[in-house]
């Protein structure tokens, strides 16, 4: 998605700079000569008469012998490297900085071509100054790109940690994305508060967020991730069974606390890891209202909900379900806003054990 593409583009540009070896080599050579000339200019500027003449002579000599820096170099190879670099800069997206550097590369090539014909001291002086300026910009860009690409890399999963990938396959506005992120944050806080009673560390934090649809990667201590996955999976299943028309018709309406406790079964999930947490299901059930609301805001009516590789898919085909009173007409199943005020009229999603 977006962050991955930007990171990859930055790395491609970094590789393009490294691949422009012939250009970088001649830039280094002329920039070094310019630095030496600058040192002599400082000597000249110090105002000591006995050293001014020597410094002036050295500066003139450095510019005069600059033609030697072209020895054994293929200008065609340098210009070809410049073209590839300018192409990579353009492909990076046409940013102001990239455009500025590209213009400097073109200007350097023009000065190099001119100097290779004239061999004049003036052209050599302009070429050396341009080389120093361009090399400085390229090095700064390399440093910035490397830091930028590193920041876009997902956080490394440390030993003892794990990751939960929660995805919603639908299109959302910025406001909806923000609301869902707030809901996920509160779900993580709820799980943390429950686990803290049993001295189980969590440290939930976001590893990566991708939008378009919505994908949220949460990283934390392994037991914390196991608990979060159990709550998310069970919560989505619970919401489908108890807060969608199809779920109510298929499974019947149950007591909210009991239904959530049965759906989550957090104690069983942690017991498989050798952790004894008697009463944790009840502790979580005391957060029923908070969790039900947040899970509904996060994923209650999404068409598809993914937790790692497991996907909950909303039933799309209308069903004729037998009720004790009568057989209803075929209809698209989903939440009925006319009978349950304040609810979203879209359909729910099927559930199943992870």
pTM over 0.75: no
Task: Specify the number of domains making up the chain.
Answer: 2
Let me know whether 135 and 219 are in one domain.
Answer: no
Q: What pLDDT, on a 0 to 100 scale, did the predictor assign at position 92?
A: 79
Same domain, 137 and 189: no
What is the spatial distance between Cα 240 and Cα 296, in angstroms, rounded to a whole number? 10
Q: Give the tokens for residue 338.
A: 């006319």
- Select from 122, 150, 178 the last residue of a domain: 150
* Plot region of 289 (φ>0 → left; ψ -120 to 50 → alpha; else → beta): alpha
Task: Please choose, from the candidates 189, 195, 193, 242, the residue with its C-alpha nearest in 3D space to the C-alpha of residue 218.
Answer: 189
Q: How far apart are CA 158 and CA 155, in angstroms?
A: 9
Per-position b or e across 11-21, b if 16+ CB within 10 A of its CB: bebbebbeebe
The residues facing 209 across adjacent strands are: 216
Tell me the Cα Rg of the chain.
33
pLDDT one digit per residue (tens) for the chain, 354 residues: 445 566 777 788 888 888 999 999 999 988 888 877 766 666 666 666 666 666 667 666 766 666 777 777 889 999 999 999 998 888 876 566 788 899 999 999 999 999 888 888 788 888 888 999 999 999 988 888 887 776 665 566 778 788 888 888 777 888 888 888 999 999 999 999 989 988 888 889 888 887 777 888 899 999 999 999 988 888 888 777 776 666 665 655 566 667 677 777 888 888 888 888 888 888 887 887 788 788 888 886 676 788 886 776 655 433 333 333 433 444 444 444 444 444 444 444 444 443
> What's the pLDDT score for residue 299?
80
How many residues in total does the chain contain?
354
The parent domain of residue 204 ranges over: 161-313
pLDDT of residue 253: 58
Token readout for 126 is 């302009």
Are 88 and 229 in a shared domain?
no
The verdict on 182 and 280 lying in the same domain is yes
d(CA 165, CA 100): 40
Strands 161-168 and 304-307: antiparallel
What pLDDT score does 96 carry? 63
**Nearest residue to 34 (alpha-carbon basis) of 122, 127, 137, 136:** 127
Domain boundary among 96, 125, 150: 150
Strand extents, DSSP E, 199-299? 205-211, 214-221
Sheet holding 304-307, edge to edge: 205-211, 214-221, 161-168, 304-307, 310-313
The CATH number assigned to the domain holding 24 equals: 1.20.120
pLDDT at 198: 87
pLDDT in tens, 207-224: 888 777 788 889 999 999
At 331 the pLDDT is 41
209 plus 134 within the same structural domain? no
| Same domain (yes/no): 192, 121 | no
Q: What confidence score (pLDDT) does residue 254 get?
A: 61
Note whether 239 and 140 are same-domain residues: no
Q: Is residue 344 part of a domain?
A: no
């Amino acid at each position: 998605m977006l962050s991955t593409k930007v990171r990859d583009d930055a790395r491609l540009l970094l590789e393009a700079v490294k691949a422009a070896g012939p250009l970088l080599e001649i830039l280094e050579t002329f920039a070094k000569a310019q630095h030496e000339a600058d040192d002599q200019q400082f000597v000249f500027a110090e105002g000591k008469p006995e050293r001014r003449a020597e410094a002036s002579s050295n500066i003139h000599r450095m510019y005069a012998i600059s033609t030697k820096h072209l020895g054994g170099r293929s200008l065609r190879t340098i210009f070809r490297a410049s073209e590839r670099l300018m192409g990579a800069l353009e492909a990076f997206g046409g940013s102001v900085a990239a455009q500025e550097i590209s213009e400097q590369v073109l200007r350097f090539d023009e000065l190099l071509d001119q100097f290779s014909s004239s061999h004049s001291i003036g052209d050599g002086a302009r070429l050396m100054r341009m080389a120093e300026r361009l090399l400085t910009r390229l090095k700064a860009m390399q440093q910035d790109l490397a830091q930028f690409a590193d920041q876009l890399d997902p956080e490394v999963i440390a030993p003892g940690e794990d990751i939960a990938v929660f995805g919603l396959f639908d299109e959302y506005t910025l406001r909806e994305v923000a609301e869902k992120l707030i809901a996920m944050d509160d779900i993580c806080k709820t799980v943390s508060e429950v686990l803290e009673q049993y001295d189980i560390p969590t440290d939930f934090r976001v590893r990566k967020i991708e939008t378009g649809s919505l994908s949220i990667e949460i990283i934390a201590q392994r037991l914390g991730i196991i608990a979060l996955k159990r709550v998310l999976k069970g919560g989505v299943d619970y919401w489908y069974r108890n807060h969608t028309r199809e779920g109510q018709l298929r499974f019947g309406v149950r007591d909210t606390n009991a239904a959530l406790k049965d759906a989550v079964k957090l104690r069983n999930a942690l017991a498989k890891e050798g952790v004894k947490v008697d009463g944790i299901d009840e502790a979580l059930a005391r957060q029923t209202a908070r969790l039900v609301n947040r899970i509904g805001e996060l994923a209650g009516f999404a068409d598809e909900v993914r937790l790692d590789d497991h996907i909950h898919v909303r039933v799309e085909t209308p069903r004729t379900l037998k009720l004790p009173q009568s057989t209803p007409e075929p209809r698209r199943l989903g939440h009925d806003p006319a009978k349950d005020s304040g609810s979203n009229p879209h359909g729910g999603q099927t559930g199943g054990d992870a």
